Homo-oligomer: A and B are copies of this chain.
Amino acid sequence: MSKGVISKDEDYSQWFNGLVVKADLAEHSAVKGCMVIKPYGYSIWEKMQAALDQMFKDTGHSNAYFPLFIPKSFFSKEASHVDGFAKECAVVTHYRLKNDGNGNIIVDEDAKLEEELIVRPTSETIIWNTYRGWIQSYRDLPLLINQWANVVRWEMRTRLFLRTTEFLWQEGHTAHATAEEAIAETEQMLNVYADFAENWLALPVVKGRKTANERFAGALDTYCIEALMQDGKALQAGTSHFLGQNFAKAFDVKFANKEGKLDYVWATSWGVSTRLMGALVMAHSDDAGLVLPPKLAPTQVVIVPIFRSEEELAQISEFVATLTKELKAKNIRVKYDNRDTQRPGFKFAEYELKGIPLRVAIGGRDLANGTVELARRDTKTKETVQQAGLAEMIDGLLVEIQANIYQKALNFRTENTREANTYDEFKKMLDETPGFISAHWDGTPETEERIKQETKATIRCIPLDNKLEDGTCILSGKPSTQRVLFARAY
């Protein structure tokens, strides 16, 4: 294993943690549960942000920024919301430190806040309190706003990217005149997320609805995209909530319709987070390191010279200068690593670890033959190709690699999505062939909860494209009209 990365078949969890650190994506910080996103990891996150942000703007949304702090009383205004978040809140109680006279810095008890402030775990409450001032009439609707922000949910057991006390995300918060429009927005944003997951992350996702148990605290309906990781566990990659009039009622946000009649506003919220970084790593990487889809790779092509003399390096560099120019003209992100302090083998391992989609190696013999060696990260194949037409070939290969990474993940998911018709079969699959399990469920929270307690599997979603099909619940044997998707999940 290069650089001490553990094999994923040996210990998937340790493999993931090790890879995230070794590939310079992120690391644990000195603050419990909080991570540091390192420059390489952040540069991938920036590409995700840019793509998503453009998709949000293309669908009519604007960005804005709301306060980090939420007064405790706001939290209590929507009953199920406070139940959902109160147990994991960072609470600010004071606004000053002081010297205790013995050289120690202590909290100044004279600077106690009258009302505690909660560090936002999500912003529905502060935003809907603000919307009250922004919405008077149907002319102010729809209000389509997104925020890029950090949020805090106190976590006892954390994992880099997947579950951290602080994480980065975007949260969309929209307001509409009718339930229909709000539902259409909820569905539109789910589709945006699915589009992003499939076309950028190269991650096939199942679009579906959460059961009542798994809904967002305060939502009438939660839509989600669910992806399958290489260990057969599911990962929720994004959610889009239809909030009904719950927050409008809690914060008294009414609008006058065209007839002048007052009604409460209809709401949605939707978000994805740095968790997607975890999904990216878990879905595609291997024991040699990351496998990045070209669209998100900070460097798409790395060129490594193999030389025995300064003169040979100079000749290679001349060729590379032309190639680099051609690649950049095609908006391809290319890096030339001509360091003479590291051997080619070291560089090859490093770029495999970092997941660079394509590697071009060129040595003296290549110069003589008019060739280069091209190595693909996704298939780990190498071939010697002509220098003529290389830029066009690379351009095409990057598209092919993006498609191949997606197809590989899709094949994996197809192979690991199974139907279970009895509870025994279901439990056996969970242990022996983990993946998505499509099974009949009687629709009750009690059955769902018992399955969760007994097997640690949860209902990931009720797929949107579900066929109706008569059957019997795997646990209760009661009648059911459709299968739902179960899995153990992150």
In the assembled complex, A15 has its CB within 8 A of some CB on chain B:
no
Is there an interface contact between B97 and A86, defined as CB atoms closer than 8 Å? yes
Known: A130-B29, A154-B96. A65 touches B42 (CB 8 A): yes
Smallest CB gap from A150: residue in B: B68
In the assembled complex, A471 has its CB within 8 A of some CB on chain B:
no
Known: A119-B119, A152-B68. A130 touches B36 (CB 8 A): yes
Is there an interface contact between A31 and B64, defined as CB atoms closer than 8 Å? no
Residues of B near A272 (CB, < 8 A) are: none
In the assembled complex, A171 has its CB within 8 A of some CB on chain B:
no
A92–B89 Cα distance when bound, in Å, is 10
Is there an interface contact between A98 and B69, defined as CB atoms closer than 8 Å? no
Within 8 A of B (CB), among A43-102: 43, 45-46, 62-72, 74-76, 82, 86-99
A27–B129 Cα distance when bound, in Å, is 13
Known: A39-B145, A130-B36. A29 touches B66 (CB 8 A): yes
In the assembled complex, A368 has its CB within 8 A of some CB on chain B:
no
Greatest chain B CB density within 10 A among A67, A99, A150 is at: A67
User: Whole-angstrom distance from the CB of A470 to the nearest CB of chain B?
Assistant: 43
In the assembled complex, A234 has its CB within 8 A of some CB on chain B:
no
Cβ-neighbour of A90 out of B35, B92, B152 (below 8 A): B92
Smallest CB gap from A82: residue in B: B105
Is there an interface contact between B68 and A34, defined as CB atoms closer than 8 Å? yes
Residues of B near A117 (CB, < 8 A) are: 31, 90
Is there an interface contact between B96 and A86, defined as CB atoms closer than 8 Å? yes
A37–B45 Cα distance when bound, in Å, is 23
Residues of B near A65 (CB, < 8 A) are: 36-37, 42, 45, 168
Is there an interface contact between A105 and B90, defined as CB atoms closer than 8 Å? no
Residues of B near A93 (CB, < 8 A) are: 91-94, 107
A116–B69 Cα distance when bound, in Å, is 17
Is there an interface contact between B95 and A88, defined as CB atoms closer than 8 Å? yes
Is there an interface contact between B92 and A105, defined as CB atoms closer than 8 Å? no
A100–B128 Cα distance when bound, in Å, is 26
User: Whole-angstrom distance from the CB of A110 to the nearest CB of chain B?
Assistant: 12
Number of copies of chain A assembled together: 2
A255–B97 Cα distance when bound, in Å, is 33
Is there an interface contact between A34 and B69, defined as CB atoms closer than 8 Å? yes
Is there an interface contact between A91 and B86, defined as CB atoms closer than 8 Å? no
Total contacting residues, chain A, CB less than 8 A: 61
In the assembled complex, A30 has its CB within 8 A of some CB on chain B:
yes
Residues of B near A105 (CB, < 8 A) are: 72, 75-76, 82, 86
Smallest CB gap from A91: residue in B: B94
**C-beta contact mask, A420-454 vs B, less than 8 Å → 1, else 0?**
00000000000000000000000000000000000
Smallest CB gap from A118: residue in B: B97
In the assembled complex, A185 has its CB within 8 A of some CB on chain B:
no
Cβ-neighbour of A64 out of B34, B36, B94, B98 (below 8 A): B36
In the assembled complex, A166 has its CB within 8 A of some CB on chain B:
yes
Is there an interface contact between A31 and B126, defined as CB atoms closer than 8 Å? yes
Is there an interface contact between A46 and B67, defined as CB atoms closer than 8 Å? no
**C-beta contact mask, A104-144 vs B, less than 8 Å → 1, else 0?**
11010000000011110000001001100100000000000
In the assembled complex, A38 has its CB within 8 A of some CB on chain B:
yes
A149–B168 Cα distance when bound, in Å, is 10
A-B contact pairs, 28 of them (CB 8 A): A30-B71, A31-B67, A31-B69, A34-B67, A34-B69, A35-B67, A36-B66, A36-B67, A42-B64, A42-B65, A45-B65, A65-B168, A68-B150, A68-B166, A86-B97, A87-B97, A87-B98, A88-B95, A88-B96, A90-B94, A90-B95, A91-B94, A91-B95, A92-B92, A92-B119, A93-B94, A96-B154, A107-B116
Closest 8 CB pairs of A and B: A39-B62, A34-B67, A86-B97, A37-B65, A91-B94, A95-B154, A31-B67, A93-B93
